[in-house]
Amino acid sequence: MIKPDGVQRGLVGKIIARFEEKGLKLEALKFLRPSECLLHQHYAEHQGKSFFEPLVKYIQSGPVVPMVWQGPDAVKIARTLIGSTNPSQSPPGTIRGDMAVQTQKNLIHGSDSVTSAEREIDLWFDNKELIGWDRDG
Ligand code: CMP
């Protein structure tokens, strides 16, 4: 999910290009203002942490771009492309290493495992919104 800072800074195209250039396949994408309820579910594992409420408020501050990318080892590859949560620990060449300086406004969220990806895809998308390249063979 491209976060509000990615949208506000006009980096949506650049971020999407990183995934396309790598060779991942776009399975779904939309542009929306997420509800507080959706964000509480999305970030449920962080509930109770000091940054939880500011994070939810921040992600609601503008539209975001949830996406589904498909490919071999897509979760691992996406995390490598994105870099570490703290941009100061993200090497050059990663999205956060090249374009972000703040831990909260770190441009993009990526699922941390296949299980999380499946849960998050279910939260953000209806099954019919997925293109289903595999279904086409
Ligand atoms: P994300 O990958 O979306 O997962 C949880 C988010 O919480 C993370 O990126 C950051 O935006 C935010 N986050 C994690 N740790 C902190 C922190 N220590 N301070 C502020 N925000 C944080």
CATH number given to 4-126: 3.30.70.141
Can you tell me the ipTM of this complex? Answer: 0.93
33 is in an annotated binding site: no
pLDDT greater than 90 at residue 134: no
pLDDT greater than 60 at residue 137: no
DSSP 69: E
Number of Cβ within 10 Å of residue 2's Cβ equals: 21
Does the C-beta of 100 come closer than 6 Å to ligand 1?
no
Active site residue 109: yes
Convert the pLDDT of each residue in 49-73 to its tens digit.
999 999 999 999 999 999 999 999 9
Cα 136 to middle of ligand 1, angstroms: 37
The token pair at 32 is 């929306």
Q: How far apart are CA 59 and CA 118, in angstroms?
A: 21
Where do the domains of the chain lie? Answer: 4-126
Q: How far apart are CA 85 and CA 34, in angstroms?
A: 21
Cα 85 to middle of ligand 1, angstroms: 6
Cα 46 to middle of ligand 1, angstroms: 9
pLDDT greater than 80 at residue 136: no
pLDDT at 20: 98
State the pTM of this model.
0.96
Does the C-beta of 42 come closer than 6 Å to ligand 1?
no
Residue closest via CA to ligand 1's atom 13 equals: 104
